[in-house]
């Protein structure tokens, strides 16, 4: 441990197993290390010779970057079960560091299913959390993104599990964006309580009697308008929406290319508007948000897209460090211990609601 | 009945109850009447004085347009149940014409829930169809749209109901677009059969043993790429996706406006690119497709967006006439009578699969 006046946050960064090269991942790591300086200690997790190849050729490792040897990657094609079995993979090694107290967070652009499963196995779930969830940010017209969860970790969720997603999402949005009372919406197919499926109608009641800032049902059209700060959905629906949204950028790119080729005025216009068109497409480029946090696990873990840009990796590392600083896990743990809305471990609890039911006022980012 | 050499198809067009004015709906009707000429007989359904106000001021009714008096509209805010009770609403009157054999199809931009419920009540379901579905078209990169169903009529669908959506969607895509063996995909969260929820895993088996051109699971990202011609989903998921997709156009419009205001080069570029940007936005403007057909009812009915442009109404009227011409309902009826994949009315049928399991080779559009 280096002798820093501010205790550095240690983030283990998996440089293997992504669709993009280790270089691209490391480039993002370098940027994060430069930006956070002494507040960050970054550990590249991967084959030392691969890492050295890149670092020797390009630059010395900065003072705040170390290497942790991992023998191999989990391939993108492997199932979570196959992934878990690989004890010396970069995923296993990176998560083990956190379990052993040698790292505070883990970031990976590798096999999402394997990272998710290994995280739960290695770091465990927070007590009281039935199912950890993957949270993702969607762009909105006013620029402040909407947090949606779950986006793929869980299907066939029970109402109390969806309710827990709302609690975790609300805590995350409060702490990470300084919104004092995030608006929580339940994704459904109409605003009225009666609209929706069985699962959602039952979940509505749980949210309604909670002290979350529940704004009721929201619809697919409300995500990009930012009507809610947190949108709760079953992982099946959330995943379908996220993948659809992720595909919009490629769709726009193709359409822009086709259109521009057909017209001289468009060609001139397009040249002038190039930066604008890029920004337009980027509003749907999810890697800009730097990855999706797993909420409800006993640690900090962020999964990134397999094709992440260096910028996305940089953002993910910074987000991971922020999650550690804001003690997201501890806050979820405390909330779960008190605010169970009469429900514990899937059983309706006949006793009086023991929790405050209130997300505690949370200091904003600036105060921390 | 006029003495046409080609028997005209009669489409009843609800001019009331939309968010846009009756004028806008009628304008679309006029366009369709002009385009189809003697092949169409169009009936404006609504208050005669409202219709006359518009027609007197602007033009005479063409020979192929008539009026059917309806006393009032179903408001957008009314529930389907409230809507059904209004016996003299434009929805009830328009559908009654079809029941009485005085019209072949009905098009409405009014209250979707009320149109759906009234259609099923008035025209009934096709024998063997468990639940009629709403089908919607999504744009794709290659321009040939993807048909997705259900997009909101049914939630908590059983596997055999999803399977029926696949049959109906396949018939619609075959007949209306001339695709001989439409690729049917099941919306899930991964390509492998094991990915997905209970409902989808069970549905996969039904599709697999059918003779549909089942290409397996597709994901949210595959819709805009056009990987499947028909995407089958529970109405809850389909509705969330459709509404999200519909909101992309407004999102892009706002982003374009903001960006263009900030930069002189963008402003010049934007002026040159105006038609292009409009087309770009229009790729996500679903009214361009002219509405969503209800499949599985004993008649032809198309629901349009409440804010439909005249062009959208024109397209919907033309699509309705095409559905009549291609006998979509008869084809679904025949298929349901033979191809039940061992399942009838929700009961696993222990007897040998009696149906051919094959969507009959269907003449292309040109041959009809």
A236 touches chain B (CB under 8 A): yes
- Cβ contacts of residue B298 below 8 Å, gap of 6+? B123, B124, B125, B126, B329
Q: State which H helix or E strand residue B218 sits in.
A: strand B214-218
Residue B141: both structure tokens together? 């990169």
Å from B37 to nearest chain A CA?
33
Minimal Cα distance from B239: which residue of A? Answer: A189
B248 touches chain A (CB under 8 A): yes
- The answer on pLDDT for B244 being more than 70 is yes
Q: Considering chain B, what is the average pLDDT of its residues?
A: 85
β A230-232/A183-187 pair status: parallel
How far is C-alpha A103 from the chain's CA centre?
A: 18
CB contact under 8 A, B220 and A236: no
Within 8 A of A234 by CB-CB distance, chain B residues are 197
State how far the alpha carbon of A23 is from the alpha carbons of A255, B37, B210, in Å. 31, 65, 47
Residue B329: both structure tokens together? 């309902």
Which DSSP letter does residue A260 get? H
End-to-end CA distance of chain A: 24
Within 8 A of B260 by CB-CB distance, chain A residues are 276
Which DSSP letter does residue B137 get? E
- The answer on pLDDT for A347 being more than 90 is no
pLDDT value of position B306: 87
End-to-end CA distance of chain B: 24
For residues A317, A321, A327, A329, the Cα torsion angle rounded to the nearest 10 degrees is: 20
Exposed e or buried b for every residue in B335-358, given b needs 16+ CB within 10 A? bbeebbbbbbeeeeeeeebebeee
Q: Which residue has the higher pLDDT, B134 or A144?
A: B134
pLDDT value of position B350: 37
Instruction: Check: CB of residue B308 under 8 Å from CB of residue B287.
Output: yes
Q: Which residue has the higher pLDDT, B195 or A96?
A: A96
Residue B111 CA neighbour count, 13 Å, CB half: 23
Share of chain A above pLDDT 70, in %: 81
Q: What is the mean pLDDT of residues B292-304?
A: 96
B255 touches chain A (CB under 8 A): yes
Please provide residue A25's backbone torsions phi and psi, each rounded to the nearest 5 degrees. -65, -45
User: What is the Cα–Cα distance from B286 to B120, expressed in whole angstroms?
Assistant: 24
CB contact under 8 A, A268 and B266: no
A88 forms beta bridges with none
Within 8 A of B224 by CB-CB distance, chain A residues are 244, 247-248, 250-251
Q: What is the mean pLDDT of residues B354-367?
A: 35
| B28-41 pLDDT tens trace | 999 999 999 999 99
User: Residue A88: helix, strand or coil by DSSP?
Assistant: coil
pLDDT value of position B80: 86
Instruction: Let me know if A49 is exposed, middle or buried by CB neighbors in 10 A (0-12, 13-18, 19+).
Output: exposed
- The answer on pLDDT for A366 being more than 50 is no
| B133-142 pLDDT tens trace | 999 999 898 8
Determine if the peptide bond prior to B54 is cis (ω within 30°). no
Å from A307 to nearest chain B CA?
15
| A15-35 pLDDT tens trace | 998 888 898 999 999 999 999
Instruction: Check: CB of residue B234 under 8 Å from CB of residue B155.
Output: yes
pLDDT value of position B290: 77
* Of residues A175, A313, A292, the one with CA closest to residue A239: A292
* Of residues A356, A324, A295, A298, the one with CA closest to residue A164: A295
A197 touches chain B (CB under 8 A): yes
User: What is the Cα–Cα distance from A150 to B141, expressed in whole angstroms?
Assistant: 28
* Of residues B140, B220, B230, B227, the one with CA closest to residue B184: B230
A337 touches chain B (CB under 8 A): no
B219 touches chain A (CB under 8 A): yes
Partner A, chain B 3-32, Cβ-Cβ below 8 Å: none
Instruction: Check: CB of residue B124 under 8 Å from CB of residue B95.
Output: no
- The answer on pLDDT for B362 being more than 70 is no
- The answer on pLDDT for A230 being more than 90 is yes
Question: A162-176, B110-124, B137-151, B344-358 — which is least confidently predicted?
Answer: B344-358
For residues A321, A325, A330, A331, the Cα torsion angle rounded to the nearest 10 degrees is: -110
Within 8 A of A251 by CB-CB distance, chain B residues are 139, 141, 224-225, 283
CB contact under 8 A, A270 and B270: no
User: What is the Cα–Cα distance from A165 to A150, expressed in whole angstroms?
Assistant: 7
- The answer on pLDDT for B58 being more than 70 is no
User: Residue B12: helix, strand or coil by DSSP?
Assistant: strand
B218 touches chain A (CB under 8 A): no
- The answer on pLDDT for A227 being more than 50 is yes
Cα radius of gyration (chain A): 21
pLDDT value of position A212: 96
pLDDT value of position B250: 84
CB contact under 8 A, B197 and A244: no
pLDDT value of position A340: 56
User: What is the Cα–Cα distance from A245 to A242, expressed in whole angstroms?
Assistant: 5
| A67-90 pLDDT tens trace | 999 999 998 888 888 888 888 999
Instruction: Check: CB of residue B275 under 8 Å from CB of residue A276.
Output: no
pLDDT value of position B115: 95
B242 touches chain A (CB under 8 A): yes
User: What is the Cα–Cα distance from A188 to B61, expressed in whole angstroms?
Assistant: 43
pLDDT value of position B21: 81
Å from A38 to nearest chain B CA?
36
Within 8 A of A141 by CB-CB distance, chain B residues are 250-251, 254-255
pLDDT value of position B191: 86
Size of interface A-B (CB pairs under 8 A): 172
CB contact under 8 A, A266 and B276: yes
- The answer on pLDDT for A5 being more than 90 is no
Please provide residue A104's backbone torsions phi and psi, each rounded to the nearest 5 degrees. -100, -20
User: What is the Cα–Cα distance from B232 to B200, expressed in whole angstroms?
Assistant: 10
Instruction: Check: CB of residue B37 under 8 Å from CB of residue B5.
Output: no
Question: A42-46, A224-228, A264-268, A292-296 — which is least confidently predicted?
Answer: A264-268
ipTM rounded to 2 decimals:
0.86
What single string gives the DSSP state of each residue in B126-150? Answer: PTT-SS-EEEEEE--TTS-PEEEE-
pLDDT value of position A107: 97
- Which residue out of B82, B240, B278 would a mutagenesis test of the A interface target, given it has the greatest number of A Cβ atoms within 10 Å? B240
What single string gives the DSSP state of each residue in A120-134? Answer: HHHH-BPTT-SS-EE
Å from A238 to nearest chain B CA?
9
| A31-63 pLDDT tens trace | 999 999 999 999 999 999 888 887 766 667 889
Partner A, chain B 138-167, Cβ-Cβ below 8 Å: 139, 141, 152, 155-156
B100 touches chain A (CB under 8 A): no
pLDDT value of position B254: 83
B223 touches chain A (CB under 8 A): yes
pLDDT value of position B265: 64
Within 8 A of B272 by CB-CB distance, chain A residues are 265-266, 268-269, 272
User: What is the Cα–Cα distance from B212 to B112, expressed in whole angstroms?
Assistant: 30
| A147-182 pLDDT tens trace | 999 999 999 999 999 999 999 999 999 999 889 899
- Which residue out of A79, A117, A138, A155 would a mutagenesis test of the B interface target, given it has the greatest number of B Cβ atoms within 10 Å? A155
| B268-285 pLDDT tens trace | 666 666 666 677 666 666
Q: Considering chain A, what is the average pLDDT of its residues?
A: 85
Within 8 A of A241 by CB-CB distance, chain B residues are 220, 240-241, 244
Task: List domains and CATH numbers for chain A.
Answer: 1-123+289-326 (3.40.718.10), 133-284+330-368 (3.40.718.10)
Q: State which H helix or E strand residue B68 sits in.
A: strand B65-69
């Amino acid at each position: 441990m280096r002798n820093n006046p501010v205790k550095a946050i240690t983030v283990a960064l998996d440089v293997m197993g992504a669709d993009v090269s280790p270089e691209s991942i490391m480039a993002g790591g370098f940027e994060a290390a430069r930006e956070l300086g002494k507040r960050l200690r970054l550990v590249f997790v991967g084959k030392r010779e691969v890492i050295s190849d890149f670092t020797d050729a390009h630059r010395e490792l900065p003072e705040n970057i170390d290497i942790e040897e991992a023998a191999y990657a989990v391939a993108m094609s492997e199932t979570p079960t196959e992934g878990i079995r690989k004890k010396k993979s970069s995923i296993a090694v990176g998560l083990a560091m956190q379990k052993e107290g040698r790292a505070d967070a883990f970031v990976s652009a590798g096999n999402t299913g394997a990272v998710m499963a290994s995280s739960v196995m290695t770091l465990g779930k927070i007590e009281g959390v039935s199912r950890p969830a993957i949270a993702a940010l969607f762009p909105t017209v006013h620029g402040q993104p909407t947090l949606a969860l779950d986006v793929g970790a869980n299907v066939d969720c029970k109402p109390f599990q969806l309710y827990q997603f709302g609690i975790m999402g609300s805590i995350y949005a409060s702490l990470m964006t300084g919104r004092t009372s995030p608006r929580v919406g339940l994704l459904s197919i109409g605003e009225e309580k009666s609209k929706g499926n069985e699962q959602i109608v039952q979940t509505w009641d749980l949210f309604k009697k909670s002290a979350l800032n529940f704004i009721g049902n929201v619809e697919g059209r409300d995500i990009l308008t930012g009507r809610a700060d947190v949108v709760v959905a079953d992982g099946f629906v959330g995943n379908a929406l996220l993948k659809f949204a992720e595909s919009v950028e490629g769709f726009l790119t193709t359409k822009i290319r086709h259109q521009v080729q057909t017209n001289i005025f468009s060609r001139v216009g397009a040249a002038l508007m190039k930066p604008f068109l890029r920004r337009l497409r980027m509003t749907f480029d999810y890697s800009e948000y730097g990855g999706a946090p797993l909420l409800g696990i006993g640690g900090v873990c962020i999964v990134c897209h397999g094709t992440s840009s260096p910028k996305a990796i940089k953002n993910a590392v910074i987000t991971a460090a922020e999650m550690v600083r804001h003690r997201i896990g501890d806050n979820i743990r405390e909330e779960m211990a008190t605010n169970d809305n009469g429900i514990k471990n899937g059983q309706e609890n006949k006793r009086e609601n023991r929790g405050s039911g209130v997300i505690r006022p949370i200091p904003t980012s600036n105060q921390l």
